[in-house]
Amino acid sequence: MNSFTISQKFKYLFSLPVIVAALGYFVDIYDLTLFGIVRVESLKALGLDTEKVGSLILNWQMFGLLIGGILWGVLGDKKGRLTVLFGSILVYSLANIACGFMPQLTFMDQTTLYCILRFVAGVGLAGELGAGITLVSESLPKELRAIGTSLVAGFGLLGAVVAKLTVGFSGDWTVTYFIGGGLGLALLLLRLGVVESGMFNHIKQDDSVKKGNFLSFFQNKERFIKYIKCIAIGLPTWFCIGIFAFFGNQFAVPLGIDGEIDPGSCIMWAYIGISAGDFASGFISHLLNSRKKAIFWMLIFTLLGVILLLLGFAKTVNGYYFFMAWLGLGTGYWAMFATMGAEQFGTNIRATAATTIPNMVRGSLPLMVILYNYIKEDFFTQSSDGVITAALVVGLIVFSLAFYSTVTIEETHNKDLDFTE
């Protein structure tokens, strides 16, 4: 194992690939969470139903992430990590700018148009994290990978906090879409100085190595099981964000909270927690010499927060926000989970894995929301018991899958990544 001086560590951890990946993920998260933050305000301004239409548009955005994850992942392994970093940010930046013009775009049904634009934004947003994590993982020494990717995610996740603050300062939801798109286009200039991953360049011209084959995850039993486990480990992250934060306003009455819970504030506090958790997770993994142990204990911490929340320990609106920060801190293993997904697979399909795995998790949110709504409405006719029970059932499923997968998956701490499938 190599040892590094403090100056060498700083040189690696604050190199241009790490800085650009962190800034890119910052803009990515800003735009990813923006609809959730302005959902109620924008839909009211457009005269649309805030609940039914809001869920529909969110589902289309997450479906776009699912499709985009496959598209950008394959391109990342076939054409290079930088191709994805440039292409994805251009797509979602233009889509977000178009969202800012929604009040003026009256040539078609606005529900349909909003769904289309958020779908396109989702496709673009899907490429940022996977390509960035892959590039950083392949650029840093194996001893510093966990810390490096944690810095990327920890800083990047603050984009959700800035998105919420921008909404408050601008006073107009359309302006926040313009800002998000503008930040993305400005970031393209900074990326001109980033060089391609050396590991990818090593196999780029080797035609004997099959690169970017998404179907290869399903053609080998061992690889398929490993791929599914990687996805399952991340499910609690979007369960907590997608149910408790995005639909936080639905929990006030069931939990006996006097006041109105703002989903935008829920998202902001959750991402403050996630950012802190991601900064910490890399160091925890480094100290424990294990990705699995770090994720396991953070899952325990998250599950405890979910149980206490559903038992009614959040007595006030601010108390609910406190639990959003708690759940965010616990699910701050997002970078660790994405890094472990990248480390599980060879260089020729690593970008495909690192890009599709997080977006499969994001893309699973519509299924969680459908199950949550089905239990809440059909079984309990929208009673307060239905909301709590629905969240409990969905949570039980995703946490069970995550714990099993974490315990049984291969450890990748200090794993050499210079190999192909």
String of DSSP letters for 33-91: HHHHHHHHHHHHHTT--TTHHHHHHHHHHHHHHHHHHHHHHHHHHHT-HHHHHHHHHHH
pLDDT at site 127? 80
Number of alpha carbons in the 13 Å side-chain half-sphere of residue 200: 25
pLDDT at site 120? 95
CA 104, CA 346: separation in Å to the nearest integer?
48
pLDDT at site 420? 67
Mean pLDDT of 315-338: 91
Between 40 and 175, the higher pLDDT residue:
175
Tokens, residue 59: 């589902």
Looking at the chain, the number of H-run helices and the number of E-run strands are 17, 0
126-154 confidence digits (pLDDT tens): 887 777 777 777 778 877 777 887 788 78
In this model, does residue 396 exceed pLDDT 90?
yes
CATH level 2 (architecture), domain 16-192+212-408: Up-down Bundle (1.20)
Largest CA distance in the chain: 65
86-125 confidence digits (pLDDT tens): 788 889 899 999 999 988 888 888 889 999 999 999 999 8
pLDDT at site 236? 96
CA 177, CA 121: separation in Å to the nearest integer?
11
25-61 confidence digits (pLDDT tens): 888 888 888 888 888 888 888 888 877 788 788 889 9
pLDDT at site 121? 93
CA 165, CA 179: separation in Å to the nearest integer?
12
Q: What percent of the chain has pLDDT over 70?
A: 90
Average predicted confidence (pLDDT) for the chain: 84
Between 58 and 394, the higher pLDDT residue:
394
